[in-house]
Amino acid sequence: MKERFHIYRLPVPDIPAGQGVFSLPLGLDSDAPFSCRALSFVNADGGNAGNDAYTLVRFKGPNGMYRQAGAVPASQMAPSSVQSAWRRMYPETTWPANATIEVDIENTSGVTLSGMVVLFRGVKQYADSIDVPGSSVYPATYGSIPFDLPRYVTLQEVGTLDNIALNGPPDAAVALRGALFTYANSAATVGSSYRNLFCSIQDLNHKPYMNQDVEVDYLFGNTCPNMQLWFPQIWLPASGIVFYRFVRNDVGLGVLNMCLTWKGSKVFPK
């Protein structure tokens, strides 16, 4: 079996005070089962999803039965006070290909809940016979050294940077384990910040590792350094390519000069 890192993103509609949405569907892709190993709740666009103690959630497993005896405060399913925090789901929960995850969300606060996103993180599972770009192909014997690939990018307040290529070095493959997304130079971006900044990573065939663009703080770890580890690693062959893109909608927050440092190891066959 081959595994491929994947994130599913489920935006939640605005929920008035004292109300809830039930069986909110998240349709999974048809190409492979999905094993969820972590989930998180995003406070998007400065919305009132911040007080997770008043946001109750529950979801159904692959057999259609709830995985929680009752709705659980989001703060107890995933840490709410730390950005980029993922709640481990152990043991993993596997949904078949083309399945639907149903999520209930209740707003017990006194204000409208807006801008919430639920993230499911795990792996897609493929048969060994299927070609899966990005799968690790370690040689039987090899040596490796740590290797970073920093990429500098300027992001306007609103817009999309699409089809950005990350080219692998010619001398060795790189096993990518994560990336740090940081301000490239705080002196040059004084007063700039971001709130609605998303990224999508795609393999050489432009097949994304997520169903929607994902908040950068949760995909990479935010500028308060907290890098997320990807499992499994994304394999960048020698002279290979990975694509990524940024989408931003931050009117009035200034131009960003950022550095996305891809972190991993060069792998040299022996």
Partner 1 sequence: MTASANPSRRSATGYQRAVVDNHRAQWVMDPTPRGFEDVPWLFAFPLPDQGTPSVYPISHFPLAFDFDADFLLRGMWGMATSSSSNTGSSLAVRLYDAYGNRMSDDLVPFFSLVTPANGYNYGFSHYGIIWSLLSPAPVEPELFCPAGSAMQIDLGVLPGTPDGDSHGALLYLFGVKRYRGCAT
Q: Which span (15-23, 105-113, 130-138, 245-253) binds partner 1, by CB under 8 A? A: 130-138
Q: Which span (41-49, 114-122, 133-141, 209-217) binds partner 1, by CB under 8 A? A: 133-141
Q: Which of 104, 183, 204, 208 binds partner 1 (CB under 8 A)?
A: 183
Sheet holding 173-183, edge to edge: 234-236, 173-183, 256-269
**Which three-class secondary structure state does DSSP give residue 87?**
strand
Q: Closest CB to partner 1 among 19 and 156? A: 156
Q: Which span (10-18, 141-149, 208-216, 240-248) binds partner 1, by CB under 8 A? A: 141-149
Assess 137 for contact with partner 1 (CB under 8 A).
Answer: yes
By the 8 A CB rule, do 128 and 52 touch?
A: no
Q: Which of 91, 146, 191, 252 binds partner 1 (CB under 8 A)?
A: 146
Token representation of residue 54: 């008043």
Token representation of residue 143: 């040596």
Assess 255 for contact with partner 1 (CB under 8 A).
Answer: no
Q: Closest CB to partner 1 among 58 and 124? A: 124
Residues 6+ apart with CB under 8 A from 70: 58
| Distance of alpha carbon 226 from alpha carbon 180, whole angstroms | 8
| Distance of alpha carbon 156 from alpha carbon 180, whole angstroms | 20
Q: Which span (12-20, 48-56, 135-143, 200-208) binds partner 1, by CB under 8 A? A: 135-143
| Distance of alpha carbon 196 from alpha carbon 216, whole angstroms | 9
Assess 178 for contact with partner 1 (CB under 8 A).
Answer: yes
Other beta carbons within 10 angstroms of residue 191's beta carbon come to 6
Could you list the residues that contact partner 1 (CB under 8 A)? 2-3, 128, 135-152, 169, 175, 177-178, 180, 182-189, 221, 224-229, 231-233, 257, 259, 261, 263, 265, 269
